[in-house]
Each structure stands twice: as C-alpha cells, then as structure tokens.
Amino acid sequence: MTAATHSTLFPQVPDSADAVLEGLDPEQREVATALRGPVCVLAGAGTGKTRAITHRIAYGVRAGILQPSSVLAVTFTNRAAGEMRGRLRQLGAGGVQARTFHSAALRQLQYFWPKAIGGSLPRLVDRKIQLVADAAAACRIRLDRGELRDATAEIEWSKVTQTVPADYALAAAKAGRQAPRDPAEIAQLYAAYEDLKRARSVIDFEDVLLLTVAVLQDRHDVAEQVRAQYQHFVVDEYQDVSPLQQRLLELWLGDRDDLCVVGDASQTIYSFTGATPDHLLDFRGRHPGATVVKLVRDYRSTPQVVHLANGLLAQARGRAADHRLELVSQRPAGPEPVYTEYADEPAEAEGAARRIRELIDSGVPAAEIAVLFRTNSQSETYEQALADAGVPYQLRGAERFFDRPEVRKAGSALRAAARFGGNDSLLDDVVDLPSQVRAVLSGEGWTTQPPAGSGAVRERWESLAALVGLAQDFAAARAGATLSDLVVELDERAGAQHAPTVQGVTLASLHSAKGLEWDVVFLVGVAEGMMPITYAKTDEQIEEERRLLYVGVTRARERLHLSWALARSPGGRPSRRPSRFLKGLRPGSGTAGWRAAAGGAGGVERGVRGGRGGAEAAAPRRTQRTPARCRVCGRTLTDAGEMKLMRCEGCPSDMDEGVYERLREWRAVQAGRSGQPAFCVFTDKTLMAIAESVPEDERELARIPGVGARKLNRYGADVLAICAGQEGVGLDEGD
C-alpha cells in the first residue's frame, strides 16, 4: 500500500461492501470489520486512522449492518468533520452525520429547546472576549489585552471542566494552572460574566455543551429520543475530549456500548483547554471486553522523519509516554533531518525563506511547504522574510477558502454557466469539463500563467487555479461529469469547508498544524524558552511541550528542517541553546563537545546572518554587539515592532507626519504596480521608523530594521528622495 492510496481526491465509489475493504492493511481491515461493541483504535501519526474509521462506517453501511441515519461520528474541527463527510460520500455512505461535538450538540439543542425549555434558544455569541471585557469593567478589574485573552481562556477551561465560579480558585490550584490575575479576581470575573450573559439573553459555545447535557440529564424523554436516533458512535481524536464532552458522549450512549474511539495519547497537546487523554487510556478499564487495535504503519513520513519522532517519544515520561506507539515507516528512505543554528531570529527567518525559495525553484510546490512555530507572535518575522524572498504564503486560520470573494464570485459564474448549458456562447465548441471551467474562470481573472509577484493579485489567481485543478481531478475521476455535477460538488465542499489546495507556503502554529501534513516542514525556534515554552514549569507541562514538538515533526512527509537562533535580535547576547528535546537526537548532541563535532555531522549546519551557512561552516562567530535599546527611554527592546521603531510603543514619537503620508502614498503605488499587498513593499512599522529618523543617505537608511539590501537597491533612491522633500517621487504612471 502506498502513500498515494491515501491521497486520491476522487476515488471511484466502491461497487460493494467487500470492495470498501480493498487496499486496507491488516490492522485497518481489523478496525473496519469490528462493527459491534466497544472498539478502541490506538493510531499513531500518519497511520491512516481517518481512512480506517471512514471505511469502517462505510463497510457497515454498505453491508446493511449500520443504517446511515443512526451513525454519529464526532471530531474536533469543522475541517476534520468536512473531510470525514467527503470521504464517506465517496465511499457510498452519504447520510452519515459527521460533526464536531459543538455542532452536534447545537443541532440537538435547537431542536429540543422549545419542547424542553420553551421559547427560542438564546442567541449564540461568536466571540466571548468583549463580554469578558464588559464583565471586567463591571467588576472594576483592569485587564490589558493579554490578561483579557488569558482570563477568557480561564473561563473556557472552567466551563469545560464543569467548574463553577465559587470553585475556580481551588480547581485551578489543583490543576496547576497559572491564573493571569489573583484567582479570587478570576472567580469574581467569571461570576460577573455569567450574570452578564443571562442579562443579555446570550449563550457561548461552552454553554451549548452544558445546556445539552442539562437537557439530556433532566428530560429522559428527550434523551430517549436522541438515543433512538443515534445508535452507533465514532469519536475521532479521543485523546482531546474534555470532561464535559465525555459527559455528553455518555448521555448520548445511555447503557449501550456501540462506541468506537480513535486516538493517540502522544498527540495530546490541548490540555490547557481541558482536554485529557485519561478517557482514552482508561477505555479498556471502563469497557473490559473492548476490541483494541493498534495502527503503527506510518504511510506519511520517511524512515528518517519517523526515527526522529520515535526518538522524541523514547525520552518522554508520564502516563501518556507509557502508552506510546513505535511507528514503522512504510515509505522509501529520504534525506536526514537538517539542523541549523543562526545568530539571531531575523537571520533564522531569512535562512528559512532562502531555502524555501530554492526548493520552489527546484520544483517543490509552495503548497507542499510549511513553516511551523510555537507561538503566533513568531509569524510576522517569517511573513516579512518570505515576502522579501518573493515567496507566496498563506496563514493557517486566515479567511476560509469558500468565503473568499473571488471564490464566491467564481462559484456564481460556474453556476450560471451550468444553468444556461449549451445556450452559453462562452462554452460553444468546448466539450470537456476542465476546458469549460477554464473558459468560465478566464472571465474572472484566471490565466494560463500566474501573474508576477506574491500579493493580492497572485492570491486571487491561486484561488481560481485551485478551482481549475479541482475540476481536472473531478473530471478524471468521473467520466462524463458535467458542469452541473461540478457545481454540486463545490456546494457540498463549501458546506463541509473541504477546500482544494491553494498554492502558497503555509505559516502556522504547531497547535493549528495538528491534522495536516506537507512534503517539507521547517520547524523554527526550536530553542530553550520557546520549546519548551518558558512558562511550562511542571513535569506534565514539559511533557506536553515534547508532544507538541512530536506533532510538528510528524507533519513532514519527506524533508524536515529544524532551526534555532542564539539571540532574539541582531546584536543581542547569544545566550540561547537548542531545545533539550533534541539532546541525543541531533548529530553530536550526546557528547559534551557537540558544538565542535557537529560541523561535520550529517544534517547539521551553521547559519550566519547574511551568509548561506552549511555543514562545512565553523561555529558562528559570537561577536558581542550592543543590544537594541529605546532611543527615548533607553529600555532594552525585545518586541520586533519596537525594534523596528527603535523605541518603545509608549514612548513619544517624533515622526515627520508629512514624510510618513508621502511614503504611504508612494507605497500604495508600488504595491499596485507589482500586484503585492502594501506590507510586502514596507511594513507600517518600517515606514514609521523611516519617517522618524528621516535618513539622508543609503547608509542611514540601511540601518533601519526592515530595510534589507534587496529593498535598498529597489526602493532606496525613491525613499531618500521623499525624505529629502522631493515631490511626486515614484507616483508617475511609468516605471
């Protein structure tokens, strides 16, 4: 069985129940045919767990053992639920409900609320942070933006662990949580938040689960109606269930045991939200006769990547580590992971961007490359570095594909063309489906060749190109498919948020990368203080950080790059060290003199700011430079934005407003010409820094962070002319 077996976008619908089982390995087949009683699937990363459980459901449906409407499959993200629905549809098991816990609960709550409570369900708020801010104001508790976010997280944790405000302080202490404020204040804020919701007749997402649990507990007639509807349950990512979700699952089940759970304790990375692997690890204790199947054949990653992943877990401690799965790669050998050390974070970002540019130039699709980091605050540096290198990228968690204006407009155009059919002159003499789609989308801006640049124009083209690619795959899988068939497919995918691949390097936090995979992965910032994160203090917290790195490693199919920086900013003290998790795993790290030995070891490189780095390079020179300091108050600067300005955000600015506005006007013109977003020319912070220092020559301009050699050569003359007061610089129509 090959990796390609797992990645076919439009497989032919199997013609029988037995055909559903074709292509499964022995363990996956065991999962698929275990259709009665409790089943526990322990599935390692890349072992085809989604394939196993969707084929299990489809086999049961096609064999007449399961009724589609009686099956409820639950997971944790809309994307995962959409993928599951899509796979089930392709296997001939349409009609099975595949939802998130919240979506399934909300659907039931909306249906039963008039009967169980009366009236209409209170309005659901999308984001609770404003309500928390209002509650804080009512309590006269002043919270900065970070504290407000953390206080909101504490309220969410309290609710999913079924902790009431009066019990918060004790429960938080027992769980080892570090409250952003005094626990008594958080408890007061939590109580005020609940009062405010009642006063405004609104509920939040946690209330959806709490209220559904309450209705099922209090109204036996409602509970029996739900149990009559759903008789067979499948829970994906079971290591991530919270106590509240487990309670809801128990109420759905009643006294039955037709339950299949799938999970991997070594991928538990959301305990800060209340998730716990205990339910997975205790499953056999609660269900002594359960069928247990282990999936360890890794179809995703090369032996070299799998070896590193296994090595990380071999050093782990704790209950989850005691149940770790030793993965066995099923793929041909690939390159060894590459470890690179840089002088500072900007150098690390530039090094990653340079390597990515080389990979893309060598033929690796941008969509098959990802940069993964520990915190979202690291993103900006890599966005800038990729933009400087002319590399298109997309942020994980940004606007959803089918919500993009150009995709909605393209869908309308395709729908109209399908409705007119042969009466549309645009499609005269165009027979095959892909050609029809290209003809329609050419009117929306699609061209055979991508536009230059990496900005908004390129992003729109990439969206349309993804639709063209989808049409080609669809037509190849379904002979005789029409434009109307494709429109139906697009509508179903939009409903499931099952988006086609968009060309662009993915930037994502390690938490948001869960469930995804790429050919090439750059794990950046793998240093002490970031991995594990500084505030991870307890043994349990440290082990979760190790599991987070494990998840990052197992996202890579073929190539894996791990890097760290010795200092945060240029000139900073080189005091950082590689993550403890890499000790004994990267070449030379098992000996005291690893730095001297690593230069010639396979896969170890030295990155130097401004240079290419390489296995042959010596250890980086650690020239002691003056740390960046605020030019107003003298405080040491650590924030990337403040370092660009060379002052604290709160210190007074001496910016020349006229220069700043002329720079913004000039930047807009440059961005329009190149088809890039404005920040790819210069970020707002860089423009502010220029307007504050008003450089007189290239040397002064080059000192400003964000003005590299490439931008100095391209834009330096214009910027200096604007600073000198020359009018109309770069604003004419010509180049």
pLDDT digits (tens, 9 = 90+) for 491-537: 777 765 555 666 789 999 999 898 899 999 999 999 998 999 887 88
Check whether 649 has a pLDDT greater than 80: no
Lowest mean pLDDT among 234-248, 289-303, 376-390, 644-658: 644-658
Check whether 591 has a pLDDT greater than 60: no
Query: Distance between CA 276 and CA 259 in Å, rounded?
Result: 19
Check whether 370 has a pLDDT greater than 90: yes
- Confidence bin at 597 (pLDDT 50/70/90): very low
SS3 711: helix
Q: What is the DSSP letter of 297?
A: E
Residue 504 backbone dihedrals phi, psi, to 5 degrees: 160, 140
**What average pLDDT does range 651-668 have in this prediction?**
80
pLDDT of residue 601: 35
Query: Distance between CA 415 and CA 420 in Å, rounded?
Result: 9
Element housing 171 (H / E):
helix 168-175
pLDDT of residue 548: 94
- Confidence bin at 593 (pLDDT 50/70/90): very low
Check whether 561 has a pLDDT greater than 80: yes
Query: Distance between CA 448 and CA 604 in Å, rounded?
Result: 41
Check whether 615 has a pLDDT greater than 80: no
- Confidence bin at 605 (pLDDT 50/70/90): low
Buried (b) or exposed (e) across 652-687, using 16+ Cβ within 10 A?
A: eeebbeebbebbeebbebbbeebbbbbbbbbbebbb
pLDDT of residue 31: 94
pLDDT greater at residue 226 or residue 602: 226
pLDDT of residue 626: 47
pLDDT of residue 461: 77
Nearest to 549 by CA among 563, 561, 531, 529: 531
- Confidence bin at 449 (pLDDT 50/70/90): confident
**What average pLDDT does range 225-241 have in this prediction?**
93
Query: Distance between CA 461 and CA 392 in Å, rounded?
Result: 12
Write out the two tokens for 517: 């995979």
Write out the two tokens for 410: 């393209």
Check whether 636 has a pLDDT greater than 70: no
How many Cβ atoms are within 10 Å of 318's Cβ, its own excluded?
16
**What average pLDDT does range 169-195 have in this prediction?**
88
- Confidence bin at 10 (pLDDT 50/70/90): low
Give residue for tokens 């999970």.
263
Angle between helices 78-90 and 483-496 (to 10 degrees): 140
pLDDT of residue 82: 85
**What average pLDDT does range 158-181 have in this prediction?**
87
Check whether 424 has a pLDDT greater than 50: no
Check whether 259 has a pLDDT greater than 70: yes
Lowest mean pLDDT among 170-174, 374-378, 447-451, 686-690: 447-451
Check whether 476 has a pLDDT greater than 60: yes
pLDDT of residue 458: 58
pTM for the full model? 0.68
Q: Quick one: CA dihedral 464, 468, 473, 477, positive or negative?
A: positive
Highest mean pLDDT among 50-64, 425-439, 495-509: 50-64
Query: Distance between CA 287 and CA 34 in Å, rounded?
Result: 15
**What average pLDDT does range 630-649 have in this prediction?**
64
Check whether 577 has a pLDDT greater than 70: yes
Query: Distance between CA 679 and CA 694 in Å, rounded?
Result: 19
DSSP string, 555-584: TEEEEEEEEEEEESSTTS-----B-GGGTT
pLDDT digits (tens, 9 = 90+) for 123-151: 998 778 889 999 999 999 888 777 888 88
Residue 708 backbone dihedrals phi, psi, to 5 degrees: -85, 180
Check whether 609 has a pLDDT greater than 50: no
pLDDT of residue 306: 96
Q: What percent of the chain has pLDDT over 90?
A: 38
Check whether 688 has a pLDDT greater than 80: yes
Buried (b) or exposed (e) across 70-100, using 16+ Cβ within 10 A?
A: bbbbbbbebbbbbbbbbbbbbbbbeebbbbb
Check whether 399 has a pLDDT greater than 60: no
When the pLDDT of each residue in the chain is averaged and rounded to a whole number, the result is 82
Check whether 315 has a pLDDT greater than 70: yes
Nearest to 444 by CA among 472, 417, 481: 417
